[in-house]
Amino acid sequence: MAETATTGSDLWQLILDLHGARNLAPIKDMPDGVWKQALPGGWFMAVNGGDKVQIVAPEGGMAVPVERFEVAFWFNGWLAGTLSPLGGTLAAGEAANIDTLAEALRLAIKERGNG
């Protein structure tokens, strides 16, 4: 059977699964309403569950505005894409792409989000 392509909906599910695996508070209750999470393989994400745009950057990475109800992804400190309930854009390189991001989320879930 052929493997199906990873979708934005798959990423949202993996993000929710990681949140559950870490047994975190609601995102809106986190500082500034943003969940910031380092992921394996050089990935970092910020999920804005607050009521206003937040400027976010991973340590040493580029700062970007993250809209309400949006998630931003960085790869090795560089913005690699954003995802909202309406869709998104993600890098499509050899190392930074939707499949390597999905794998990083899966690994983080296995590790229960530690790190």
3 in a structural domain: no
Closest CA to 91 of 72, 105, 107, 65: 72
Tell me, yes or no, whether 22 lies in a domain: yes
pLDDT at 9 over 50: yes
- Confidence at residue 5, expressed as pLDDT on a 0 to 100 scale: 76
- In this structure, is residue 115 part of a structural domain? no
Residues 12-60 pLDDT 10s: 999 999 999 999 999 999 999 999 999 999 999 999 999 999 999 999 9
In this structure, is residue 30 part of a structural domain? yes
In which domain, by residue range, is 67 found?
A: 8-110
- Please, which pLDDT band fits residue 88 given cuts at 50, 70 and 90? very high
Residue, of 81 and 112, whose pLDDT is higher: 81
Within a domain: 1:
no
Q: Residue 47 falls within a domain, yes or no?
A: yes
91/8 Cα distance (integer angstroms): 13
Average pLDDT over residues 82-111: 96
CA dist., res. 13 & res. 61, Å (int): 26
Count of domains forming the chain: 1
Mean pLDDT of the chain, nearest integer: 93
